[in-house]
A and B are shown apart, each in its own frame.
Chain A
Amino acid sequence: MLTHIVSFAASGVGAGLGIGIGGGLGALGAGVGIGIIFGKVIESVTRQPEMRDEITSIQWLGFALTEACFFYGLVAGLLSYVLK
């Protein structure tokens, strides 16, 4: 069993798998986060329409910070591809 795992790891197949897992899990987390942010923005603008501009500027900040987490995952995957 252990030799199977080691030979799989040494075969270089893991490189492509690394990008796939990194990108996939990153997109999962970022998708959930961005959905929550925009959902909350919609809720709060419905409650208080006069606060729309302030909330919009906080919304873009939150969106970019959450999207960055997807890129952390992607870069980790790319690192695994480069390091094999």
Chain B
Amino acid sequence: MLKFSHNDLFSLLITVGVMLIIARLFAEIGKKFKLPVVMGEIIAGMILGPTVLGTVNPEVFSFLFPKESGAKIALDGITSISVIMLLFVAGLEVQLQLVLKQGKTAIYTSVTSMLIPFVLGFSAVWFIPQWFDYETNHRLVYALFFGTAMAISAIPVIAKILLDLNMYKTRVGQIIMAAAIFDDLTGWLMFSLILSMLGKEGEITNIWYTVVMILFFGLFMLFIGKKIIDRALPWIQTKLSWPGGVLSISLGLCFLSAAFTERIGLHAILGAFIMGIAFGDSAHLHEKAREIIHQFITNIFAPLFFVTLGLKVNFIQNFDFTLVTIVLFLAVICKLLGASLGAYLGGLPKRESLAVGFGMNARGAMEIILGTLALDAGLIDEKMFVALVIMALVTSLMSGPLMKKMMT
């Protein structure tokens, strides 16, 4: 039996400490150049991982990240927990009432910015398979995944861009946020379905079972779970220690919900995401509690997760220029077309519609999480993963300046 030894603990503590500090360092350097934090964290991972450190000094690399050890298993556990928590905070910001409230324009933008990229992404895999490298028996799942990867948005990076451009409370800003919320919700539900379809051993499982279970769990949480949380939150926030009470209960329920969905054959991320929605939707959740949850997860677990991406893959060896170009081109065109068209049909002028398109185009951390889970599930290879990461970073970088240009 593998035992977690004194040496493993020592190694794990060194690893986590180095990862957190280097990630923060690069995030702060990136911030000086107005780069997304996630970019700094991934660069930190690339430097610590096989791309740089593994090539330059393999001994230090092996010391920091020993392959067969208890520390490696523990680190894998930490990153799995990190991704679950990241999905929980993503769910916290899914407030569907925003979509309803923004009316026709938001609904049109939400639907087209999801549907058009999904259909075009799916069609690209289905009709031009030579562009992609996948197992032929996974064609449907791969096409569904690629459609989802094209359709998903990233609320954190979009919110940050809107904040920087002082567009948060403008009509365009509100429509972008509402549509991003809708796209995130449908995208993650779709992705959970895809992962569940893959099954535990990479085999395709019964799709109807998965759909029924997702619907059952989603509706249960929407009608009953959400109400229970809504009733309990005022008590949690006033009777238990502050902010410890709400932090432990929310994360505890997040893990239990993730465990439940994992157990019934859905992916753990779905449970965390839906539990996040149930918590975030409650008007009783104090803004301060929301801030603390975000701070805790975004600054401790997100860096650990994004640094490990750099450890998993050699970005130089797996850089495929043609694939990166195809993925980037498709991602930009699909999202720009979908979101701008929806906004235009919903009544926005041309330039504002394009601004919505460019705003929605930012994929950021969510796309990278999606890619990582697909890589771990064996659905995509390292080359596609690298292409998705680059696409996520480039779209996040181009979003702000292009939006600004459209609005001036």
Q: Do A and B associate with each other?
A: no
Q: Which residues of B contact A (CB under 8 A)?
A: none
